[in-house]
Chains A and B, each alone.
Chain A
């Protein structure tokens, strides 16, 4: 399993764009990169998944460089409700396999 490194915490203000970068230097060729979000007192929920280049959905964008040794989750114009812990998880078939969570990044959005 690819080991991940993320900032432990980040602070932002409402309306700003937040970029969270995750390093996964030994990612396997077949691994996708999946990001999960966990609000306080809730279970994690899937945000976005990608293999390379850029993926965008209604919640976030995911940027993956050509060497795939890192990925950046981009949250446009954050609000207070985006305060959560964000986890990046490289792996295959992450829907059907047990997940290995790293320490994640605790994002605090302030007014």
Chain B
């Protein structure tokens, strides 16, 4: 199994600002993903974080809004840029091996 930590666990931000969320894994993993879970909703995939290359984004998500870094096999960041209240969500990272393991999530509130 993999142990995943995310920072910050929660934050309240002003519209127009940016927040960078960190995801740290206790072992090297190939596959790492970022999801968003809006209040009361299911999880939606934002992108696959690729080590050494640009992230692969799902339809409706763009790099300018959600830039992702993956400098090595244990760490990734997701930035939520130029935030608006509609970006208020829980952001989760996950890593994949025989099964997927999810981090605890970052609860973001944008005022």
Contact = CB atoms under 8 A, between A and B. Distances in A.
Nearest to A34: B99
A42 B4 CA distance: 12
A43 B107 CA distance: 11
A93 to B, nearest CB: 8
A87 interface: yes
Given A103-B42, A104-B42, A98 B33 contact: yes
A45 B4 CA distance: 12
A39 to B, nearest CB: 10
Given A43-B94, A95-B99, A102 B31 contact: no
Given A43-B102, A44-B102, A46-B99, A98 B42 contact: no
Contacts of A44: 43, 102
11 contacts: A34-B99, A94-B100, A95-B97, A95-B98, A96-B97, A97-B96, A99-B33, A101-B42, A101-B44, A102-B42, A104-B42
Interface residues of A, number: 20
Interface of B: 4, 30-31, 33, 42-45, 48, 58, 92, 94, 96-105, 107
B24 to A, nearest CB: 14
Interface of A: 34, 41-46, 49, 87, 94-104
A96 B97 CA distance: 5
Which among B99, B104, B107 has the highest number of chain A CB atoms within 10 Å?
B99
Contacts of B96: 94-97
B42 A87 contact: yes
B19 to A, nearest CB: 18
A41 B105 CA distance: 8
Contacts of A98: 33, 45, 48, 58
Contacts of A41: 104-105, 107
Contacts of A100: 45
